[in-house]
Structure 1
Amino acid sequence: MAPALTPMKHLRLALFLCAFTCPATVHSEVASHWPQFRGPGGLGVGTGKPPVELSLEKNVKWKVEVPHGHSSPCIWGDRMVLTGLDAGKLTTFCLSKTDGRELWRAVAPTEKIEAAHRIGSPAAPTCCTDGERVFSYFGSYGVLAYDWNGQELWKKPLPLPVVEFGTSSSPIVVDGKVIIVADQDVGSYMIALDAKTGKEAWRVERGEFRRGFSTPFVWSHDGIQELVVAGSLWVRAYDLKDGKQRWSVSGMARVANASPIAADGMLLVSSWNVGGDEDDRVLMDPYDDFAAVHDANKDGLLTRDEFPTGKVRDRYSQIDADKDAHVTKAEYEAMRGMFAASVNQLFAIKPGGSGDCTHTHVVWQQNKHLPYVSSPVAANGRVFTMKSGGLASAYDAKSGSPLYQAERVDASGDYYASAVAADGRIYVISQRGMVVVLDATSDNLNVLSRTDLKAPVFASPAILDGVVYVRTDKHLYAFGE
């Protein structure tokens, strides 16, 4: 017979059980999670059976008002965190996944809010979590770590990025480190912070890279993990332990927006920007020839007014890397070289490379009908993209063979949110708020539904346990059966 429990042992047992069963805990080992931008592994693949149509009349489980921002939900257990700009303050706020109730809010101690694109937001990066801690990243401040009750654990101020469009790359946490990629027009770098303390674990200077908005990706293959960063002109992989470079592949646009994914044993990377298409090249004359004609005061520096109207002048703020309102010969030639070397394409890389493996490890590529910002998603052996204008394409993941290209889904406008997949379907939302659901099991375009949310959408949706979480400019929706 088992010995009787004393009152003290009863109390200890009750406290022990409560630690694992009380509703307040969010560290469930069996619950599904969406711990970073685009969910587990950054793949954009959700769980459960979400509704085929995100109807405002039929499938809204709950709807709550949220501060303006472009970050997506980061979900662990019954709690989710987002960021926003509210009354001039950058905040991290936590909601109940069950009903959307706000549980806590924390304000970042910013001295200055960074500039952002006219349709952008200084609250664009999505939070990430290791299950115990929540990590927020603002270009206006740096990194802040909280526990799931909103208690600040540590903070790491970082310099304001040198890019007038603002910060968009989201942090990820892996191997006990929070990874921040700060690609900008001057002084690009990547930093790894200890998730428990915020202390710097390693730092990689990326000075040859210019502005970038792509979120880093961890490529797991052959029993190893590689940290992959898509940047201007190059994709590079690094060792998570110390940040040492492992391999590089060229073939990127000047600016990286979309984030990489992996499928069928390969890394899939997409990039597009003005000047990277063969039939739409932006060509810049050598500096000496250009300055001889356009440097009006012959001071060896070029102001914006000294550039003729056109695509080059439109990108003056990018050419002027240090933002001092004068373009030097070095700045001009650097951008001329980037325009000449930029490539717009969707391409697949096989594992096992080292050094520059552009000519040995690129398996296939496609260079037409590419998305600008929206990241691709893979499901059922297929890779799906959505180009602005509502042009859908799908490819065989292994061979790159087109299944269909630039097929209209009758949902025009720009697409900034990245696609997500679940239960044999693809969900993608236009800036205008039109939700398009595609059949991911068909080799032909099959639009299953279209729903107008009647509000702008920039944040990528999350799908967890059959519920689709969509953030508009003012609200967060939970759609489910």
Structure 2
Amino acid sequence: MMTKYGLILSTCVLGFALVQSDAAADWPQWRGSADLGSVATGNYPSELDDQTLRWKAPLPGKGCSTPIEVDHTLYVTAPSDGVDALVAIDWSGKQQWLTKFGPEVKGKHRNGSGSNASPVSDGDAIFVYFKSGTLAAVELDGTVRWQTNLVDRFGKDTLYWDHGTSPVLTKQHVVFARMHNGESWLAAFDKQTGKIAWKEARNYQTPRECDHGYSTPLVIEHQGKESLLVWGAQHLTIHDAQDGRVVWSCGDFNPDSNQLWPVVASPVLVGDMAVVAFGRNDKGAPRLYGIRIDGSGDVTDTNHEWFRDDISTFVPSPVAYNGNVYLVRDRGEVECLDPATGKTIWSDAFPKNRNSYYASPTIAAGKLYAAREDGVVFVADVADGDFRLLSENDLKESVIGSPVPVENRIFIRGEKHLFCFSAK
């Protein structure tokens, strides 16, 4: 049976969509229904201030995940009274319910938490993951359909920092990836029962910490089949969604064997080109790759289309909009690229500041929203082939989650509140 978002999640990205369809206005996963981080149309605010603030809803605890939206309800993970929880907030900013799970495992990094992973929905249920290891399916009324603990079942993760990978949905399964120093794997669980469907090992020998992965897989179509695109441990791989087996792989991302290069930013797919950020842009060692997603087997020698060592991003993931790819780099530099060639179309920057960018940027109808870790959110016009700063907005609390655009509203999750803004 094809659920409401089964269709979206298996066609928008599965067809290598260039632009997200705005007909499905919901935002059912971290980077939107097409995994692009953008919407093409709408009337979104140029400023985020008292005049455009519709409401702000208090959150029960610190979390760094991005909210999702389904049928005018926002779902966000956060700790509550020392336990992992999922909160439902309606279109007017009122809490509808709060569902609790097991004890919270707090984050280690100042910008981390036990609720880093973003929820995902197929329109029938909400699926969540926490640092504690809890993976759960929750009905739209807040009832727990099932829950399990992946740490208890498969051991603790050995990530140096807090987990960052979010679960994703295929037609039948909720899929989660663990990439760390030790046994790494990709596993699928039945959406209705939570029963494990398959678990595929994903182990590569890498220099120290290069096997640590915080990125989120993409659900795509590859050679006519529903598949999963996974980035981490210096390899980009495609897995058959039915059984998890590797059907395509590309390596050679670190020929000099540099150490301490974990994967944080997730790739973005435009047409048949995956734009892959690697290296340490935050430490003067950027790497950016264009990889063609075609063929089968080991394509390392044939599918590296372009490479740059002058620009990249370490934490914020790229966003795709109108066929181009945009980077908001770790210290606020902004780059617009042609994904086919990797060439810069234009570059600019937000005002300099000692704080960095951890949230991934979002583009809504030509407006670029970028949140700095200290809670300053910038809005820039990128609709006309260049960059024009529109506003600088201080939300007065840390922002690590990505802005979410839905039906002319921008939702931003701060450390203490969920904010809703709309045009004047």
TM-score by length of 2: 0.85
Question: Please, which of 68, 78, 82 is the counterpart of residue 76 of structure 2?
Answer: 82
- The residue identity in structure 1 corresponding to 2:128 is S
SS in 2 for 1:104: strand
After TM superposition, give the deviation of residue 124 of structure 1 in Å: 0.5
1-structure distance, mates of 2:86, 2:253 = 33
Question: Please, which of 407, 410, 421 is the counterpart of residue 465 of structure 1?
Answer: 407
2-structure distance, mates of 1:225, 1:390 = 36
2-structure distance, mates of 1:392, 1:416 = 14
Equivalent position of 1:249 in the other structure = 250
Question: Please, which of 179, 183, 204 is the counterpart of residue 183 of structure 1?
Answer: 179
1-structure distance, mates of 2:24, 2:71 = 6
- The residue identity in structure 1 corresponding to 2:122 is D
After TM superposition, give the deviation of residue 57 of structure 1 in Å: 1.6
Contact 2:281 2:314 in 1 (8 A): no
- The residue identity in structure 1 corresponding to 2:77 is T
After TM superposition, give the deviation of residue 49 of structure 1 in Å: 2.1
What is the root-mean-square deviation of aligned Cα atoms in Å?
Answer: 2.2
After TM superposition, give the deviation of residue 265 of structure 1 in Å: 3.2
The alpha-carbon distance between structure 1 residues 274 and 267, as it changes in their structure 2 partners (threshold 3 A), is: closer
Question: Please, which of 105, 112, 116 is the counterpart of residue 124 of structure 1?
Answer: 116
SS in 1 for 2:216: coil
Equivalent position of 2:351 in the other structure = 410
Contact 1:458 1:472 in 2 (8 A): yes
2-structure distance, mates of 1:255, 1:475 = 30
After TM superposition, give the deviation of residue 452 of structure 1 in Å: 2.3
Contact 1:117 1:164 in 2 (8 A): no
Question: Please, which of 32, 37, 40 is the counterpart of residue 30 of structure 2?
Answer: 37
Question: Please, which of 161, 167, 174 is the counterpart of residue 163 of structure 2?
Answer: 167
Number of equivalences: 385
Specify which structure has the higher proportion of helix: 1
Specify which structure has the higher proportion of strand: 2
Equivalent position of 1:137 in the other structure = 129
In the alignment, structure 1 segments of 5+ residues that lack a partner are: 1-29, 281-343
Larger radius of gyration, structure 1 or 2? 1
Equivalent position of 2:150 in the other structure = 158
2-structure distance, mates of 1:83, 1:213 = 18
Equivalent position of 2:15 in the other structure = none
Say if 2:193 is the partner of 1:197.
Answer: yes
After TM superposition, give the deviation of residue 420 of structure 1 in Å: 1.2
Equivalent position of 1:149 in the other structure = 141
2-structure distance, mates of 1:223, 1:361 = 19
SS in 2 for 1:41: coil
Cα-to-partner distance string for 1:111-148 (whole Å, 9 max, x where unaligned): x6255323311110001111111111112032111100
- The residue identity in structure 2 corresponding to 1:272 is G
Say if 2:385 is the partner of 1:385.
Answer: no
- Percent identity between matched residues is 28
2-structure distance, mates of 1:43, 1:275 = 23
Contact 1:346 1:367 in 2 (8 A): yes
1-structure distance, mates of 2:71, 2:93 = 13
1-structure distance, mates of 2:351, 2:408 = 26
Question: Please, which of 48, 59, 77 is the counterpart of residue 55 of structure 1?
Answer: 48
Cα-to-partner distance string for 1:160-189 (whole Å, 9 max, x where unaligned): 322242211000111211010111222211
Equivalent position of 1:71 in the other structure = 65
After TM superposition, give the deviation of residue 228 of structure 1 in Å: 0.7
After TM superposition, give the deviation of residue 221 of structure 1 in Å: 5.9
The alpha-carbon distance between structure 1 residues 207 and 73, as it changes in their structure 2 partners (threshold 3 A), is: same
2-structure distance, mates of 1:275, 1:388 = 6
- The residue identity in structure 2 corresponding to 1:157 is N
TM-score by length of 1: 0.75
Contact 1:47 1:465 in 2 (8 A): no
Equivalent position of 2:98 in the other structure = 105
The alpha-carbon distance between structure 1 residues 83 and 367, as it changes in their structure 2 partners (threshold 3 A), is: same
2-structure distance, mates of 1:345, 1:69 = 29
In the alignment, structure 2 segments of 5+ residues that lack a partner are: 1-22, 206-210, 255-260
SS in 1 for 2:34: helix
After TM superposition, give the deviation of residue 252 of structure 1 in Å: 4.0
After TM superposition, give the deviation of residue 47 of structure 1 in Å: 5.7
Contact 2:281 2:330 in 1 (8 A): no
